[in-house]
Structure 1
Amino acid sequence: MSSALKPLPFYVTFTAGAIAGVSEILTFYPLDVVKTRMQLERGKTSTSLLGSFRTIIREEGFGRLYRGLVPPLLLEAPKRATKFAANDFWGKTFKDLTGQPEMTRQLSIITGCSAGATESFVVVPFELVKIKLQDKSLASTYSGPLDVVRQIVRKGGILGLYAGMEATFWRHLWWNGGYFGSIFQVKTMLPKAETPQGQLLNNFVSGSVGGFVGTVLNTPYVVKSRIQGAEKLPGVIPKYNWTYPALITIFREEGPAALYKGFVPKVLRLAPGGGVLLLVVEFTLGVFRKALGPPYI
């Protein structure tokens, strides 16, 4: 995107992010359900990806793969808008602070981490509701998303919706740092696109690599699902409470492989999902630029 172009209005970025996020969620959500189930498993045994799919469909029906879909769908517009708007804001801020006229690899990583940290404050309540609805052990506890919210607020107040905030912060910080940092690096390595189709391909490839790297970096934060999936009992200190002590507990009790439970479905979703996300965002922004005309194009 040329620096000579006038920045697009906020509603354009918001709409592009919303369209991209909804597209990605509808395509890959069943993998997220399986990933969450695998992360909630205790002990050293782990069900395979296909085994988890078969078990869910056989015991609970195909529709279960889309249970908990409403919160992420409602989240995607503000979440993706926040992700890309924050990345743009922090990119400009860090370039001004360092005196760099153009983005560098180091700045792209720092910018991505900052965008992820910003994004985390938006997503926590929605993630919490999603985890509660996806957990098989809580299937009879909640009748739907609004019931989850009502019960959480009744038991813990409004702040109860922010259970797992610290773990979510670290998860999004590392994912976005890996995502945006990889996109910058991969784009410098790919041949320059000479056609719109080539540009779309470059966006998909760089976004997919970014999604893969981000997933490798943040999958050990499996503890977020456990923190948000646990029921709070009065006077009882949760086994999984703070991120890094909890990671040590899982490593010690279940082995290093437990930190990557659910990695396969997660990477199968977020690697191509990252590509779809960037491709749809850039395509939608291009459509808006053409529609708005100079000085946006």
Structure 2
Amino acid sequence: MDRPQETATQTINNDETKENGNGNQNESRRLNLVPFNPIYKWIDSGEFDDYLRAHKAVVCATTASLLSTFAGYPLDSLKSRLQASRVPITVPRLARTILREEGIAGFYRGLWIPLVTISAVRAISFTIYNETKETLHKPIEQGGYGWSKDSRLSVGASGAVGGALAGGLISVGSTPFELVKVRRQLEYSIAAAKGIHIVKPPSTWSAVLDIFRGGSGGGAPKGITALWTGFRLHFIRDTMGTALYFFEYDSMRHLLGRLPNNEQGPTPVWAPIPPSFIPFVCGSLAGVSSWAIIYPLDVVKTKTQQRALAGEKYRGPFETLSRLIRGPATAPRSHFDGFMRLYRGLGVSALRSVTTHGLLWTILDSVSSWIDKRPYRDHGAVTYWPS
């Protein structure tokens, strides 16, 4: 990354460092290092700085995803249970039921697979998104498409294209992991549909094997393909949702003063938002609005997967949507009640989106800024940049 020419520097050569030890003091002051600790020495080394810059997108996305996923997972678990519930239930009542029957661990049931896989998925997704945007905005003579970085429509469209590609490609690998997550989150309702009483919830690996074997339901899919149950709905949801998400985020960041070089410029007079808070605002709004648009599709996907895992008779997406709206033939719902059924759990899902996506972009921007401010090293010399 290019550094400002006007920035003052202080260069310390390796030979001088060995002779007077001043370099070691300057090295240690950055991270309060413990002397002679090899781990801390490597973290504070030029190789570590080079690694961070070479893998910046992956490091930022992984760190942000791990922290934001852990923070928002209890709300995601509540959302899945609300979607699959056969009877109306309030969020506080459902939370109390989970706490009473399963304890705190019930809110984090199935956490480890999404914690690892979502982080990996987001790292890959952000890489695809960034590479796509870079190609679209690169000048034609350099092999790009020459899209403008000054036009809000162009910036938003490149985000949408990058998001659609990332969402569609990632869904191929993420479908099995999300199916296992749904299986873990809905273990009690799936067991009830099979007429089974759970004494001790099975492990995540047992859930994977249960899906592979077809469970105890005669109509449940079996074999390796069972892990891709609901793939078409998952693919459509992720492609549309990710395209909308990045389109909205990039458009809002451009509207709120982000410059073509991706640095944050002055905010508009009508939006007196602290610059450090802008990523949280844009991430939250993009997450909530895009999720609200595709939420009915997610409800249909979850319901379809739940029925398949319970071994119940297969219903197509349109039949599932129709029955969710009109209800059972013995007790039909009004159109308004049916529409509200599609958005059951949206409130807790919106809160999850605000938490997860707001933290995601805030942490991502903070880690990116931290990497950019690490000292630049060239052929054994260390260049310190004033904060």
Give the equivalent residue in structure 1 for 2:355.
272
SS in structure 2 at match of 1:73: helix
Whether 1:189 and 2:255 are equivalent positions in the alignment is: yes
Whether 1:125 and 2:176 are equivalent positions in the alignment is: yes
Q: 2:55 aligns with which of 2, 8, 11?
A: 11
The whole-number CA distance in structure 1 between the counterparts of 2:293 and 2:54 is 30
The alpha carbon displacement at 1:17 in A equals 1.4
Unaligned runs of 5+ in 2: 3-51, 139-143, 192-197, 215-221, 259-263, 267-272, 328-332, 379-384
1:263-292: CA deviation from partner (whole Å, max 9, x where unpaired): 111110012311111111122122222236
Give the equivalent residue in structure 1 for 2:24.
none
Flag the structure with larger Rg.
2
- Aligned CA distance change for structure 1 residues 88 and 194 (closer, same or farther; 3 Å): closer
* Paired AA for residue 47 in structure 1: I
Structure in which a larger fraction of residues adopt helix: 1
Query: Normalising by structure 1, what TM-score?
Result: 0.85
Whether 1:286 and 2:328 are equivalent positions in the alignment is: no
Q: Is the 8 A contact 2:166 2:242 kept in 1?
A: yes
The whole-number CA distance in structure 1 between the counterparts of 2:120 and 2:318 is 28
Q: Is the 8 A contact 1:30 1:66 kept in 2?
A: yes
1:135-178: CA deviation from partner (whole Å, max 9, x where unpaired): 12246396111111112223322221111111111222232122
Q: Is the 8 A contact 2:117 2:174 kept in 1?
A: yes
The whole-number CA distance in structure 2 between the counterparts of 1:24 and 1:120 is 20
The whole-number CA distance in structure 1 between the counterparts of 2:339 and 2:159 is 30
Give the equivalent residue in structure 2 for 1:252.
326
Whether 1:165 and 2:234 are equivalent positions in the alignment is: no
The alpha carbon displacement at 1:31 in A equals 0.7
CA RMSD of aligned residues (A): 3.0
Q: How is 1:229-248 mapped onto 2 (pairs within 5 angstroms)?
A: 229-231=306-308, 237-239=313-315, 241=316, 243-248=317-322
Q: Is the 8 A contact 1:29 1:69 kept in 2?
A: yes
1:235-272: CA deviation from partner (whole Å, max 9, x where unpaired): x7512x4x455334422336111211111111100123
The alpha carbon displacement at 1:194 in A equals 6.0
Give the equivalent residue in structure 2 for 1:201.
277
Number of aligned pairs?
Answer: 287
Query: Normalising by structure 2, what TM-score?
Result: 0.66
* Paired AA for residue 165 in structure 2: S
Unaligned runs of 5+ in 1: 3-7
The alpha carbon displacement at 1:61 in A equals 2.0
The whole-number CA distance in structure 1 between the counterparts of 2:234 and 2:107 is 23
Percent identity reads 26
The whole-number CA distance in structure 1 between the counterparts of 2:231 and 2:239 is 12
The whole-number CA distance in structure 2 between the counterparts of 1:20 and 1:127 is 19
- Aligned CA distance change for structure 1 residues 210 and 232 (closer, same or farther; 3 Å): closer
Q: Is the 8 A contact 2:132 2:162 kept in 1?
A: yes
SS in structure 1 at match of 2:88: coil
SS in structure 1 at match of 2:374: helix
Q: Is the 8 A contact 2:159 2:243 kept in 1?
A: yes
- Aligned CA distance change for structure 1 residues 251 and 95 (closer, same or farther; 3 Å): farther
Q: Is the 8 A contact 1:174 1:217 kept in 2?
A: no
Q: How is 1:1-297 mapped onto 2 (pairs within 5 angstroms)?
A: 11-42=55-86, 45-95=87-137, 98-102=145-149, 103-135=154-186, 136-138=188-190, 140=198, 143-155=202-214, 156-191=222-257, 193=264, 198-221=274-297, 222-231=299-308, 237-239=313-315, 241=316, 243-253=317-327, 255-291=338-374, 293=376
* Paired AA for residue 177 in structure 1: A
